[in-house]
Structure 1
Amino acid sequence: MNKGKLHLVPNILSEDGHYCLPAYLTPLLSGLKYFVVEEIKSARRLLKKLNASINIDQLEFWMLNEHQSEIPPEVMHRLKDGDEIAYISEAGCPGIADPGQNLAAYAHQIGAEVIPHTGPNSILLALMASGFNGQQFCFHGYLPNKQPLLGQKIQYLETESRQRNQSQIFIETPYRNQQLFQELLKTGHGETKLCIATDLTGKQEKITTRKIREWKNHLPEMHKVPTVFILYAGIY
């Protein structure tokens, strides 16, 4: 029996970001019938953008996200039977701060082939442009959004960065960006550096690194804009 194949397919970070996807994805995805997706609407939009002639109604979609975290039984059966399936993230790379890791783990468990495909990743793009330590870094996902936990977490990350010479990367729900930024200004040491990367790969992309004391005179516009924050108190 043929081994099943699981393709891990990145999605764009912004509406203007299709140029970041490799050209070979178009014929690959056009030849597949089965798709596990984090969000059906964004996956269908991506497929149509890559190939306007694709017949979406002939494709099969299953959801896998934070609300539907169980791998659909039919997906399990198809991988076991040797079918080829693509998992498409809602934005960025599958398995990186993304539920695709569960499907990849299952595919390995049954001996299916797992094939990652290149594409945009906001975490790495922000780190690349930050000027911070790219050999020692840690991604924390979302920080607590309530006090005093948020302030305590920022202090912890700053200490970790200083002691380990480590870049500390985190994100926030876009409508809470300003709240997080204000807490960083309030809690962080003035000499600690902060990189703010907004709308990565989009028309309004902006990546800026300043000391926290300098940010107090340069308030960024990032309300409801996808943003990556990187804190760095080390020496590099």
Structure 2
Amino acid sequence: ALGLVSEAGMPAIADPGTAIVRAAHALGIPVVPLTGPVSLMLALAASGCQGQHFAFVGYLPQGAAERAARLRELEATAHRLRQTQVFIETPYRNAALLQAALQGLRPDTRLALACGLGLPTQAVHAARVADWRRQPPALPLHLPAVFVLGT
């Protein structure tokens, strides 16, 4: 028997572990996923965005210009396909990503940010970008966060 555990996520989903799961399949070892809190799904459920049609796109580029371009691309996809876009960032870059989103996204785009899900200090805020700009909430951006962008 072999167990794969993550300290803050779901192994092999936005978390290391894919290679181990593939190796287990190749060796004929049964793979039995266990349920538990998965921050991506919790954030999507709390976002108020479309939960029937979504894409998890991982991390966005670190460079400001590349990040801004990727945000515009994700926003265009969200509006064109009515497909919610879910992405993550490391805690030390959460503030920069949020700032880039608020500067570059359309006012009518919905943005949700879920910080520290599963912790007593968790916080979720979801609103149109125009509302974020008008009244930005105080969020624990130093915690792991999931960003959700939709229509």
Normalised by the size of structure 2, how large is the TM-score? Answer: 0.94
Q: Does 1:144 find its partner at 2:61?
A: yes
User: Deviation at 1:220?
Assistant: 3.1
Q: Does 1:102 find its partner at 2:19?
A: yes
**Separation in 2, partners of 1:220, 1:231:** 19
User: Deviation at 1:225?
Assistant: 1.3
Unaligned runs of at least 5 residues, structure 1: 1-83
Indicate if the aligned counterparts of 1:195 and 1:229 stay in contact, CA closer than 8 A: yes
The count of residues paired between Structure 1 and Structure 2 equals 150
**Separation in 2, partners of 1:229, 1:222:** 13
User: Deviation at 1:196?
Assistant: 0.9
The residue that corresponds to 2:86 in the other structure is 169
User: Deviation at 1:222?
Assistant: 2.8
Aligned CA RMSD, in angstroms, stands at 1.1
User: Deviation at 1:219?
Assistant: 3.7
The residue that corresponds to 1:69 in the other structure is none
The residue that corresponds to 2:145 in the other structure is 227
Q: Which of residues 74, 77, 83 is equivalent to 1:160?
A: 77
**Separation in 2, partners of 1:198, 1:99:** 20
**Separation in 1, partners of 2:138, 2:101:** 13
Indicate if the aligned counterparts of 1:194 and 1:212 stay in contact, CA closer than 8 A: yes
Indicate if the aligned counterparts of 1:171 and 1:227 stay in contact, CA closer than 8 A: yes
Give the share of equivalent positions with the same residue, in percent: 38
Indicate if the aligned counterparts of 2:125 and 2:137 stay in contact, CA closer than 8 A: no
Question: Relative to structure 2, which stretch is displaced further, 133-142 or 221-230?
Answer: 221-230
Amino acid across the alignment from 1:228: V
The residue that corresponds to 2:5 in the other structure is 88
Amino acid across the alignment from 2:11: P
User: Deviation at 1:223?
Assistant: 3.0
Indicate if the aligned counterparts of 1:178 and 1:222 stay in contact, CA closer than 8 A: no
**Separation in 1, partners of 2:141, 2:92:** 6
Amino acid across the alignment from 2:42: L
Deviating beyond 6 angstroms after TM superposition, the runs of 4 or more aligned structure 1 residues are: none
**Separation in 2, partners of 1:199, 1:125:** 11
Query: Which one scores higher on RCO, CA 8 angstroms, separation ≥ 6?
Result: 2
Q: Secondary structure at the match of 1:144?
A: coil
The C-alpha deviation readout for 1:21-58, integer Å capped at 9, x for no partner, is xxxxxxxxxxxxxxxxxxxxxxxxxxxxxxxxxxxxxx
For 1:67-82, list aligned pairs within 5 A: none
**Separation in 2, partners of 1:172, 1:220:** 18
**Separation in 2, partners of 1:95, 1:129:** 22
Unaligned runs of at least 5 residues, structure 2: none
